[in-house]
Amino acid sequence: MSASLKELLAGVVVLVSKEAVQHQGISLSMEGLVNLQLSSKSVGVFEAFYNSVKPIQLISSNIEVAKAGKIPGGKTEIPFEFPLQTKGNKVLYETYHGVFVNIQYTLRCDVKRSLLAKDLSRTCEFMVHSQPQKAKVLPTPVDFSITPDTLQNIRERNLLPKFLIRGHLDATNCVISQPLTGEVVVENSQVPIKSIELQLVRVETCGCAEGYARDATEIQNIQIAEGDVCHSLSIPIYMVFPRLFTCPTLETTNFKVEFEVNIVIVLHDDHLITENFPLKLCRI
Amino acid sequence: MAAVQWHSRGRRYEAELQRCRLEATPVDFGDYHPLKPITVTDTKSRRGARKGSTSSSSSSSSSAAPDPLSSMLDGTDPLSMFAAASAGETPGLPHSASAGDLGRKRREREEEAVGSDFEPWSAKRGEILARFTTTEKLSINLFMGSDKGKAPSPGSSAVSEKVRTRLEELDDLEEGSQRELLNLSQQDYANRIEELNQSLKEAWASDQKVKALKIVIQCSKLLSDTSVIQFYPSKFVLITDILDTFGRLVYERIWTMCSDPRPLPESFSADDVNDTAKETCLNWFFKIASIRELIPRLYVEAAILKCNRFLNKSGIQETLPRLTAMIRGIGDPLVAAYARAYLCRVGMEVAPHLKDSLNRNFFDLLGTFRQIQGDSVQNQLVLQRVEIPEYLTLYSPAINWILQCIAYRAPEPLLTEMMERCKKLGNNALLLNSVMWAFRAEFVAARATDFITMIKDCDEAGFPKHLLFGSLGRSLACADPPEAERLPILNEAWKVITKVRSPQDYINCAEIWVEFTCRHFTKREVNTVLADIIKHMTPDRAFEDAYPQLQSVIRKILTYFHDFSVLFSMERFLPFLDMFQKDSVRVEVCRSIMEVFIKHQLEPTRDPVILNAMLHICKTMHDSVNALTLEDEKRSLALLINGFIRMVSFGRDFEQQLSFCVEARATFCNLEPVLVQLIHTVNQLAMETRRVMRGSHSRKTAAFVRACAAYSFITIPSLSSIFCRLSLYLLSGQVALANQCLSQADAFLKAAVSLLPEVPRSISVEGKLRPSEGFLLDFISNFLSTLLVVPDHPEHGVLYLVRGLLNMVQDYTWEDNGDAKLRVYINALPLLAAMSQEAYLYCIPRVDSNETLYGGDPKFLSEINKLCETLIGQVLDHLKALGRDESVRRQAALAFSLFGCLLAHGDLRNNKLNQLAVNLWNLSHKHGHCDTRASVRTLEFMKHQAQQPDMAHLSDTVQRLALQSRT
| A203 and chain B in contact, CB less than 8 A | no
CB of A210 within 8 Å of a chain B CB? The answer is no
- Domain residues for A28? 8-125
Provide the pLDDT for residue B46.
42
Distances (CA, A) of B30 to B39, B41, B46, B759: 12, 17, 21, 61
Average pLDDT, rounded, for chain A: 82
* In a domain? residue A135: no
> CA-CA distance, B413 to B406, in Å (whole number)?
12
Closest residue to B286, CB basis, from A221, A233, A243: A243
> Using the beta-carbon criterion (under 8 Å), do B330 and A229 form an inter-chain contact?
yes
Nearest to A40 among B159, B333, B335 (CB): B159
> Where do runs of H (alpha helix) occur along B223-352?
232-257, 275-289, 294-303, 308-311, 315-326, 333-350
For residues A198 and A116, state if they share a domain: no
The CATH number given to whatever domain includes residue A192 is 2.60.40.640
User: A105 and A27, same structural domain?
Assistant: yes
State the CB neighbour count (10 A cutoff) for residue B22.
Answer: 5
Are both A67 and A175 inside the same structural domain? no
Residues A77 and A207 in one domain: no
Together in a domain, A106 and A75: yes
Residue A131 lies in a domain: no
* B342 CB-near residues (< 8 Å, 6+ apart): B236, B240, B243, B299, B302
Cα separation, B615 vs B590, in Å, equals 11
Asked whether B534 and B579 are in contact (CB, 8 A), the reply is yes
Q: How many residues does chain A have?
A: 284
Of B292, B364, B374, which has the smallest distance from its Cβ to A221's Cβ? B292
- Report the pLDDT averaged over residues A124-150: 81
pLDDT at B145: 42
Instruction: Give residue A40's pLDDT.
Output: 63
Residues in chain B: 967
Enumerate the residues of chain B whose CB falls inside 8 A of the CB of residue A236: 322, 325-326, 328-329
- Tell whether A118 and A35 lie within a shared domain: yes
Closest CA to B466 of B441, B514, B429, B518: B429
Of the candidates B153, B289, B364, the beta carbon closest to that of A218 is on B153
**Top-confidence residue, B490 or A91:** B490
Shared-domain flag, residues A185 and A100: no
What 3-state class would DSSP assign to A44? coil
What pairs with residue B1 in β-bridges? none
CA distance B623 to B583: 10
Alpha-carbon gap: B262 to the closest alpha carbon of chain A (Å): 27
Q: Which of A217, A229, A230 sits opposite B158 (nearest CB)?
A: A217
Domain end (from A125, A157, A181): A125
Judged by a CB distance cut-off of 8 A, whether residue A227 touches chain B is: yes
pLDDT score at A84: 78
Q: At which of A125, A152, A180 does a domain end?
A: A125
* Rounded alpha-carbon distances, angstroms, from residue B482 to B446, B448, B451: 6, 9, 14
Instruction: Decide if A1 is inside a domain.
Output: no
B367 contacts in chain A (CB < 8 Å): 230, 233
Number of domains in chain A: 2
Task: Decide if A20 is inside a domain.
Answer: yes
Residue A27 maps to a domain: yes
CA distance B52 to B37: 23
Burial of B348 (0-12, 13-18, 19+ CB in 10 A): buried
Question: Who among A215, A218, A233 is closest to B368 (CB)?
Answer: A233
Max intra-chain CA distance, chain A? 82
Do residues B885 and B818 make contact, with C-beta atoms less than 8 angstroms apart? no
Rounded to two decimals, the ipTM of the complex is 0.83
- Domain contains A53: yes
**Alpha-helical regions (H) of B836-950:** 850-854, 858-884, 888-905, 911-926, 932-946
CA B512, B517, B523, B528: dihedral to nearest 10 degrees?
A: -70
CB contact under 8 A, A223 and B328: no
Report how far residue B180's alpha carbon sits from residue B170's, in angstroms, rounded to the nearest whole number.
17
- Contact state of A41 with B367 under an 8 Å Cβ cutoff: no
Q: Do residues A187 and A86 both lie within one domain?
A: no
Q: What are phi and psi of A9, to 5 degrees?
A: -100, 110
B157 neighbourhood in chain A, CB within 8 Å: 41
State whether A102 and A219 are in the same domain. no
- Please report residues of B whose CB lies closer than 8 A to that of A39: 158
Residue A50 lies in a domain: yes
Is the Cβ pair A227, B374 closer than 8 Å? no
- Which of A99, A125, A151 is a domain's end point? A125
Distance CA B626, CA B587 (A): 13
**Chain A interface, best mutation among B150, B156, B223, B290, by max A CB count within 10 A:** B290
Give the residues of chain B that fall short of pLDDT 70: 1-3, 26-34, 36-116, 141-183, 426-427, 460-462, 964-967
Is the Cβ of A240 closer than 8 Å to some Cβ of chain B?
yes
CB neighbourhood size of B351 (10 A): 20
CA angle (B12 as vertex; B9, B16 as ends), nearest 5: 105
Q: Indicate the pLDDT class of residue A48, thresholds 50, 70 and 90.
A: low
Chain B residues within an 8 Å CB radius of A42: none
When pLDDT is averaged across residues A180-195 and rounded to a whole number, the result is 89
Same domain assignment for residues A88 and A181: no
Question: CA neighbours within 13 Å on the CB side: how many for B216?
Answer: 34
Same structural domain for residues A155 and A271?
A: yes
Indicate the SS3 state at residue B158: coil
d(CA B358, CA B348): 9
Which residue in the set B224, B292, B326 is minimally distant from A238, CB to CB?
B326
Co-location of A146 and A258 in the same domain = yes
Residue A176 domain-assigned (yes or no): yes
Q: How far is B294 from chain A (nearest CA, A)?
A: 5
Q: Which residues of B touch A193 (CB under 8 A)?
A: 331
